[in-house]
Amino acid sequence: MNWVVFLLVSWVTLGLELGLRPSIQLGDSGMAPSFALILVAYIALTAPRVTALWAAMLIGIVLDLTSERLSSSGMSTLTIVGPTALGCMLGASAITNLRAMVYRRSPITMLMLATLLSVIVQIVVVACLAARSWWDPSLVFHARPEFAARLGSAAYTGVAALVVGPVLNFLTPLFGFIGMHQPRGGSASRW
C-alpha cells in the first residue's frame, strides 16, 4: 500500500467527518455516519492483513484523539485513547477473514462490511467504556442508551458506504493495491 496516499485520503476523510457529522446527524440523536470507518473497511477489504491492521489502528487513534466525553462532573472533558482504535483493529481483522467470500467491487459489499465493521467498533467502544467506568470515577457511562444510538450510527455508516465506497474504489490504483492479492484458486478479477 502507498502510505502517502493512505495518509492523504485519511486526512481528507477525517476532516470531512469532523466537519460534516453535526450537519448530517439525524436530528439531535447523535446518529451520524463515519467516513473514516468506511475507509477502514475499504482498506481491510483490499490491503494485506498486517498493513490493514496498522492502518485501522492509526485511524482509530485519530478518532479517539478527536473524540471527547464529558466527565462525571459535566464541567470538563475526557480524551480516551484506545477503544475506537481497538475496535477498528478487530473490525479490520474480521473483514480480512471474510474478504475471500465477497465481491469487492459490489456496492452491497461495502454496505455490508462497513456496517459490520461499525457494529464491531461500537461494541468494543461500549465494552471498553463500560469496563473503565467501573473503576474510573471521572467517567459516567450508560451503556444501553448509548449502544442504541451507536447502532443507529453503524447502520447510517453502511448507507453512506454506498456513496463513499465507489469513490474509494475509483482511487484504488493510487493506493497501489492492484495485483497485490491473488485469491486462493481464484482470479485476480474477483478482488
Partner 1 sequence: MPRGLFSPTRTLTVATLALVVLALAPHRTTSWLRGIKTPVEFVLSPVQHPTSIIAHFLRPPRIHGDSDDETIRALRLELDRWRAAYAETDGRILELERLLRDLQSGAALPSTLDVVQIAAPVVGAPSDLTDGLLRVRAGFDRGVVERSTVAATRGVHLVGRVVEATRGMCSVLPVTSRRAGLIDAVVLTADGLGPWACQLEPAGDGTLVGDMVAEAQGLVVGQVVSVRDRAWPIGAQGLILGRLSAIETKPNGRLRIVVTPDQPASTVGEVILRSPRMIDSGGSTP
Per-residue contact flags (x/-) with partner 1 for residues 46 to 75, judged by CB under 8 A: ----x--xx--x---xxx-xxxxxxx--xx
* Closest separation in Å from C-beta 94 to partner 1: 15
Nearer to partner 1, 102 or 136 (CB): 136
- Cα gap 145→135, rounded to integer Å: 21
Nearer to partner 1, 32 or 104 (CB): 32
As to burial, measured by CB atoms within 10 angstroms (0-12 exposed, 13-18 middle, 19+ buried), residue 136 is middle
Nearer to partner 1, 80 or 171 (CB): 80
* Contact pick of 45, 89, 121, 168 for partner 1 (by CB under 8 A): 89
Q: Does 83 bind partner 1 (CB under 8 A)?
A: yes
In 3-state terms the chain splits into helix, strand, coil percentages (rounded to 5) of 70, 0, 30
Nearer to partner 1, 91 or 109 (CB): 91
Q: Does 5 bind partner 1 (CB under 8 A)?
A: no
As to burial, measured by CB atoms within 10 angstroms (0-12 exposed, 13-18 middle, 19+ buried), residue 49 is middle
* Closest separation in Å from C-beta 58 to partner 1: 10
- Cα gap 88→119, rounded to integer Å: 10
Q: Does 15 bind partner 1 (CB under 8 A)?
A: yes
- Cα gap 37→125, rounded to integer Å: 13
Q: Does 159 bind partner 1 (CB under 8 A)?
A: no
Closest CA to 14 of 63, 83, 58: 63
**Residue 77 DSSP SS3:** strand
Under DSSP, the state recorded for 183 is -
Binding positions for partner 1, rule: CB under 8 A: 11-12, 14-25, 27-28, 30-32, 34, 36, 50, 53-54, 57, 61-63, 65-71, 74-86, 89, 128, 131-132, 135-136, 138-139, 146, 149, 153
